Structure 1
Amino acid sequence: MGLELYLDLLSQPCRAVYIFAKKNDIPFELRIVDLIKGQHLSDAFAQVNPLKKVPALKDEDFTLTESPWVLAAKSSKADPSWPHGGSAWRQQWGRTSSGRPMRSF
């Protein structure tokens, strides 16, 4: 299985990730998470993203949960010279966009 992208196109960060993936011909399986219906708060979605936020990108057993990380990961799919893999992302993006240290789950 390839990339799975969990999003709701009502969300601006989700649209940015979606447009980037489409524009760069990055293949992904779209998984719609309806924010208005509260699907992001479900236990099923918490298995994908314990923070219960979109967008989320799942690549086999590795998941990214904030839009800047998702865009960077998609950049590595578009340009293989980008660093990739869980340890590379943790090193490069060791803090969340809020400036807090990344939490391991």
Structure 2
Amino acid sequence: MPDFLLYDHPLSGNCHKIRLLCAMIGKPLELLPVAVLEGETRTEEFAKLNPVQQIPVLKDGDFVVQDSQAILLYLAMKYAPEWIDASPEGMAAIAEWLSYGAKEVSNGPQLARLHFLDPHKSIDIDRAQAIGRKVLALLERVLGGREWLCLGRPTIADLAVFPYVGLARQGKLPLDECPNVLAWIDRIRALPGYHPMPGLPEAL
């Protein structure tokens, strides 16, 4: 088995965060597809790898880390410190957005998209879309006064929030009514190493 491996699904925005960061820092990454919709994460074998039974999971040598935000932080600290910050203040600003990506973005744009991708899921689509609209409105306000989410430069905060916001149309959310968010997406698309996943735009 490769020493640097991501347990992956091509339609997962959370996995795409990891694929993006590795591409942007020039870190070769082997992908192992996991049949999530067919229940592969719910097997006993996968539970031994990750008791939470979710992807992404990163294997770096003998070390295994799960959760997309944790993986972003691990990769940046070990291989790409320019994507985080050396100060407590800077890391606090990044952590705020990591938390926002794990909570509001997950409960809004991510769940709204999943409702239409996997309709048998018991998702309250009205609630997910309401949260999703609040996410877009907040980002539209924040990005009206800055180019990046924090620190005036690209960080893992941007990658933590980006995929499911960029995929918001798949959740029937009004992304096209948010010019500041669209401009931020274009700035991410212009970064070296950017590549899309199904539903996200091509590189600029």
- Given the two structures, how large is their TM-score scaled by the length of structure 1? 0.67
Equivalent AA in structure 1 for residue 44 of structure 2: D
Tell me the equivalent position of 1:101.
none
2:6 maps to a residue whose letter is L
2:18 match: 17
- Look up the match of 1:72: 73
Larger RCO, structure (CA 8 Å, separation 6 or more): 1
For the Cα contact (< 8 Å) 1:2–1:28, is it kept in 2?
Answer: no
Gaps of 5+ in 1: 83-92, 99-105
Q: CA RMSD in A?
A: 2.3
Q: Residue deviations 1:9-44, cap 9 Å, x none?
A: 212111111111122111222111121111111122
Q: Distance in 2 between matches of 1:78 and 1:3?
A: 15
Runs of 4+ in 1 over 4 A off after TM superposition: none
What letter is aligned with 2:79? K
Partner of 1:54: 55
Shift of 1:60: 2.3
- Hey, what's the Cα distance between the residues in 1 that align with 2:43 and 2:60? 21
Count of residues paired in the alignment: 84
1:32 matches 2:33: yes
**Please, which runs of 5 or more residues in structure 2 have no aligned partner?**
85-94, 103-204
Task: With the length of structure 2 as denominator, give the TM-score of the two structures.
Answer: 0.37
| Equivalent pair of 1:48/1:58 in contact (CA under 8 Å) | no
Distance 1:2 1:23 in 2: 19
Instruction: After TM superposition, give the deviation of residue 71 of structure 1 in Å.
Output: 0.8
